[in-house]
Amino acid sequence: MAKFWGIGVGPGDSELLTVKAVNAIKKLDILYAPQAHKGGPSVAEKIAAPYLSENLEIKRRHFPMVKDWEVKAKAWQAIANEIIADVKAGKEVGFLTLGDTSVYSTYSYIAEMVAVQVEVETIAGIASYTQIAANMSVPLMLDEESLAIVPATTSEERLARIIDDHDNVVIMKIATGLGKVYRILKERRLLTSTTVVTNATMEGQVTKRLSEYSPDAKLPYFTTALLKKKPY
């Protein structure tokens, strides 16, 4: 019986796809992928490109990046309906997502909509922050240390509380809240304890301490910060 496959493609390097992810991609008849701004392939599709067959049908769809929940949900449901129809027609259908399928991924919403009518299988991918830690050869946490993963888009009060309560903090989507993050960490003298990585594992990767940036710096979308309070 045909399935809908959610496939995490990792942070950027095509060699970081798991064997399971590659094998799933090779089974597909149809691939759904986000449409880039200019209509071309998305970052996720480019990462998976070495494993896509010539006969694979690729359906690029627009996923609204807006705050209006109704607008997003309507677009997701339309795409989910297409996916359901394709699977019911006997096609193996896949959806690519950057990093891991369970971390801030639109895939999770699509999968929930699709699962009421067809079988879904989700394949994990390497998250950007685990690969960042690997590239730096540092642990995300040791012994009884805690780790928090939080988007910079959360409230300043909540972000400050999370930073205060945990030994290690991954701050995602930092490009949209750098000023807030910078202010909180500067007050706690943690700027030099925070590493900022742009385009992890991709061409043009940049790794710097947060102290090397100004609070009003313009960072690319694919930027993640890792705070480690203990020296390494």
Tens digits of residue pLDDT in 156-198: 999 999 999 999 999 999 999 999 999 999 999 999 999 999 9
Same-domain status, 220 and 175: yes
Query: Around Cβ 13, how many Cβ atoms within 10 Å?
Result: 16
> Where residue 64 falls among pLDDT bands split at 50, 70, 90?
confident
CATH number of the domain to which 217 belongs? 3.30.950.10
Is the per-residue pLDDT at 200 higher than 80? yes
pTM of this structure? 0.90
CATH number of the domain to which 118 belongs? 3.40.1010.10
Please give the pLDDT value at position 231: 78
**Structural domain harbouring 36:** 4-123
Strands 93-97 and 4-8: parallel
Same-domain status, 104 and 144: no
Closest CA to 26 of 124, 79, 92: 92
* Sheet architecture: strand order including 120-123: 57-61, 30-34, 93-97, 4-8, 120-123
Same-domain status, 8 and 23: yes
Say how many domains are in the chain: 2
> Where residue 35 falls among pLDDT bands split at 50, 70, 90?
confident
Taking the CA of residue 200 as centre, how many other CA atoms within 13 Å lie in the half-sphere pointing to its CB?
25
Q: What is the mean pLDDT of residues 117-130?
A: 97
> Where residue 88 falls among pLDDT bands split at 50, 70, 90?
very high
Provide the token pair at 6. Answer: 């959610």
Q: What are the DSSP calls for 141-208, one per residue?
A: --TT--EEEEETTS-HHHHHHHHHH-SEEEEESGGGSHHHHHHHHHHTT-GGGEEEEESTTSTT-EEE
Q: What is the mean pLDDT of residues 10-21?
A: 97
Same-domain status, 15 and 119: yes
Same-domain status, 201 and 172: yes
